[in-house]
Amino acid sequence: MTAYSLLDLVPVVEGGSVPQALANAADLARHAESLGFNRYWVAEHHGMAGIASAATAVVIAHVGAATNTIRVGAGGIMLPNHAPLQIAEQFGTLDALFPGRIDLGLGRAPGSDQRVAQAIRRTLDSDPNAFPNDVVELQSYFADDGRTGIVATPGAGANVDLWILGSSTFGAQVAAIVGLPYAFASHFAPDALDQALAIYRRDFRPSAQLDKPYAMAGFNVFAADTDAEAEFLASSQQQAFVALRTGNPGKMKPPVEGYRDSLPPQHAAILDHVLQCSAVGAPAKVAAGIAAFVERTGVDEVMLTSSVFDHEARKKSLTVAAGAMQELRVAA
């Protein structure tokens, strides 16, 4: 049966604030928990006025305290921004607070532009082996196997589920080699989805954490009572993508009627490309879109994302998506 989870970028909307965004995150996680979502993830982004999850471990603690059973974690931590020991300590602390509920997805992108990345890291490592080596070092801290000569406190012996994230085939190769579950960012970078999944499944090596491949892929959902209303809600995310790709990111804007049709051809093409893995519409249309995506990819889990300006409309969109996933599970 295909599991379903939620990725939340903790959006700061136009006219809103960071405290409001964080309160919404806790409420959304509680809602997801009530709907049977498997996990709730936030992602590390920096220097972006419209995303409030930069201090990712702190946000996870906030959400963990607001929920009871749903897994909470990072989708992900951009590991090159951090010393592996610090991440082991942070997520070891989270595991101590919320035992058996913590996920740690690891990515190698900066989660920012080069200027902000420089401010975070001070030095930028171009060694292609740096990320895999950092993953292995982090695993060593959690395993407390003595290979580093350092005991992470907290961290040593923590029960944290590690994931490798990716939007290209590189992450698939790393996940396969180290024997970890793999999550592909098809909700905004769909190009290499099928190839990456094939490489991961073909080359997977069993590990202490995982005995067979386990793959997840991102999928956008904008659901409402009618197709027209869903298209209207989706325009906030569409505006955000166009703003990001044209170098003008900011807070999430309210929806606009007919936004997609108002764009010049090059901007419309950007949207058509990055949002390929999406379902926009009334419940039946969304259910069909999710089912087709699961059939195409064969993933073990779908990471749903639904960036909607209005908080209550967003919760409703996720309710529809959860209903569609539950129907799939019953059919399976």
Instruction: Give 101-150 pLDDT, tens digit per residue.
Output: 999 999 987 645 666 666 666 455 656 678 999 999 999 999 999 999 99
Specify whether the CB–CB gap between 80 and 132 falls below 8 A.
no
Average pLDDT over residues 237-256: 92
pLDDT at 121: 61
Average pLDDT over residues 38-44: 97
Average pLDDT over residues 209-237: 97
d(CA 3, CA 214): 11
* pLDDT > 90 fraction of the chain, expressed in percent and rounded: 84
Instruction: State in words which class domain 3-331 has.
Output: alpha beta
Domain ranges of the chain: 3-331
d(CA 324, CA 332): 12
pLDDT at 75: 96
**Tens digit of pLDDT for each residue in 261-317?**
999 998 888 898 899 999 999 999 999 999 999 999 999 999 999 999 999 999 999
pLDDT at 173: 97
Average pLDDT over residues 160-177: 97
Which pairs from 250-254 meet CB under 8 Å and 24+ separation?
250/14, 250/49, 250/50, 251/11, 251/12, 251/13, 251/14, 251/15, 251/16, 251/49, 251/50, 252/11, 252/12, 252/13, 252/14, 252/50, 252/307, 252/309, 253/13, 253/14, 253/309, 254/13, 254/14, 254/309
Question: In 117-249, where do the E strands start and end?
Answer: 161-166, 182-184, 215-223
pLDDT at 130: 87
d(CA 8, CA 290): 18
**Tens digit of pLDDT for each residue in 94-103?**
999 999 999 9
pLDDT at 267: 84
Residues listed for the chain? 332
Average pLDDT over residues 44-48: 91
pLDDT at 237: 95
**Tens digit of pLDDT for each residue in 20-37?**
999 999 999 999 999 999
Single-letter code of the amino acid located at 287: A
Is the pLDDT reported for residue 41 higher than 80? yes
Instruction: Residue 318: name the closest of 19, 27, 17, 20 by CA.
Output: 27
Helix orientation angle between 84-97 and 130-143, rounded to the nearest 10 degrees:
40
d(CA 88, CA 222): 36
C-alpha to C-alpha distances, 15 to 11, 152, 215, nearest whole angstrom: 12, 42, 38
